[in-house]
């Protein structure tokens, strides 16, 4: 039993952030209850060909929350947002984003309605798990 637990801990430490693209320090900050802006969908790389939009969310947990739980919860909610992105509700935006090509094109954005739907999906997924989540307030808006 002990070797299995050690292997699980090592896997979690090595892979913390694998599914979500969230760093270990960001996971630890969320686990402590800090409000952290996280990239929860997309690549965050303006030069990468885009398959989904960049969705940033301001996330905080009720402390103390184990880092492993934060990782699992964020991954589950990322999957929920990705399901919405791949649904019929976002088909038009997916097609437009694919047609625009790489994200270095400043016009490579999706509609506000779709981004709001993705953010709401992520927020609704995290809230019952004991988190607060909201889109970050952008300067100049």
22 alpha carbon, distance to own chain's centre: 8
> Residue 95's pLDDT band (boundaries 50, 70, 90)?
confident
Q: Which residues of 68-80 are buried (b: 16+ CB within 10 A; e: fewer)?
A: eebbebbbebbeb
Six token digits for residue 126: 């995290």
**Between these two residues, 99 and 65, which has the higher pLDDT value?**
65
pTM: 0.78
List the one residue out of 64, 59, 62, 71 whose CA is nearest residue 19: 71
Q: What is the per-residue pLDDT across 17-56, written as a single tens digit (0 to 9) for each?
A: 344 578 999 999 999 999 999 999 988 877 777 788 889 9
């Amino acid at each position: 039993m002990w070797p299995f637990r050690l292997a699980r801990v090592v896997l979690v430490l090595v892979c913390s952030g694998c599914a979500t693209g969230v760093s270990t320090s960001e996971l630890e900050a969320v686990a402590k209850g800090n409000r952290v802006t996280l990239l929860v969908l997309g690549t965050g790389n303006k030069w990468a060909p885009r398959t989904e939009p960049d969705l940033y969310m301001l996330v905080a947990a009720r402390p103390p929350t184990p880092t492993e739980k934060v990782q699992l919860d964020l991954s589950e909610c990322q999957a929920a947002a990705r399901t919405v992105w791949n649904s019929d509700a976002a088909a038009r935006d997916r097609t437009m984003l694919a047609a625009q090509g790489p994200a270095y094109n400043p016009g490579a954005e999706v509609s506000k309605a779709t981004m709001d739907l993705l953010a709401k999906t992520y927020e609704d997924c995290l809230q019952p798990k004991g988190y607060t989540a909201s889109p970050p307030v952008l300067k100049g808006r």
